[in-house]
Amino acid sequence: MILINLLPHREAAKLKRKESFFVSLAASALLGCLLAGLIYVWYQVQITEQQARNTVLRAENSRLDVQIKEVATLQKEISGLRSRQEAVEDLQTERNLPVHLMNEIVKQVPDGVFVKNLKQEGSLVALSGVAQSNERVAEFLRNLSSDNPYVTKPELVEIVAGTTALTPKDQRRVSNFVVRVQLKKIAEDKKSVAPVATPSSTSSATTPAKP
């Protein structure tokens, strides 16, 4: 027996294909939404973790800022302590400087020179005295210039001819001189240190003339 399909099979197949297309489209849209949701959730997790790391970094930065301020304060305190230490060392060094200066002057005074007064003003020391001749004064200046550990830059301020009485009947011609030298170990070349603690004073040096 021969069966003949008189129904519109082409329209049915077309409708079936259309239904399959819409099902596939809906499945694709659902899959796309699912993927978009997963990507969104993943990004939110990453953002949350990054925000947490940023919070930790800000907290560490704040802690480091406090430590930096503390270090800066410590550095200032250390600088102040070093300055005070240098000042104390300078004062200790200069405390014995007048003694060394007197000893050095005694060593450098040649024969025929008599130092009467010594006056210090800051780093400058003025020596006044009497010499038998101008040559003796020149020799005194040369002695002060020769590798002296305590004084430098000796210079003759003035020299004046005069007389002195050894006895009531013995009058001799002498040279009254003033010599100025500069101390080497003075704290004035240090930064942020007060001037020398040794006060400027005029003292008599009874250095006898050598025969």
Using pLDDT thresholds of 50, 70 and 90, give the confidence band for residue 190. very low
CB atoms within 10 A of CB 196: 21
* Per-residue pLDDT tens digits for 71-103: 888 888 898 888 888 877 777 666 666 777 777
Q: Is the residue at 16 inside a domain?
A: no
Q: Tell which of 95, 122, 144 closes a domain.
A: 95
Q: How many angstroms separate the CA atoms of 49 and 103, rounded? A: 79
Max CA separation in the chain (angstroms) = 184
Using pLDDT thresholds of 50, 70 and 90, give the confidence band for residue 39. very high
Tell me, yes or no, whether 101 and 89 share the same domain: no
Backbone angles phi, psi at 25, to 5 degrees: -65, -40
Q: Is the residue at 133 inside a domain?
A: yes
Tell me, yes or no, whether 129 and 150 share the same domain: yes
Tell me, yes or no, whether 201 and 113 share the same domain: yes
What is the spatial order of strands in the sheet that 170-183 belongs to?
Answer: 151-167, 170-183, 124-131, 113-121, 202-207
Q: Is the residue at 17 inside a domain?
A: no
Q: Domain containing 167 — which CATH number?
A: 3.30.1360.100
* Per-residue pLDDT tens digits for 141-178: 887 777 777 777 878 778 777 777 666 676 778 778 88
Q: Tell which of 66, 95, 124 closes a domain.
A: 95
Tell me, yes or no, whether 81 and 111 share the same domain: no
In the chain, the number of structural domains is 2
Q: Is the residue at 9 inside a domain?
A: no
Give the pLDDT confidence score for residue 46 in this predicted structure.
Answer: 92
* Per-residue pLDDT tens digits for 120-147: 777 787 888 888 788 888 887 887 777 7
Q: Tell which of 68, 95, 122 closes a domain.
A: 95
Task: Give me the percent of the chain exceeding a pLDDT of 90.
Answer: 16
Q: Is the residue at 7 inside a domain?
A: no
Q: Which residue has the tokens 């590798």?
A: 147
Q: Is the residue at 8 inside a domain?
A: no
Q: Is the residue at 75 inside a domain?
A: yes
Q: Which residue has the tokens 């550990």?
A: 149
Mean pLDDT of all residues belonging to the chain? 76
Domain region containing 76: 23-95
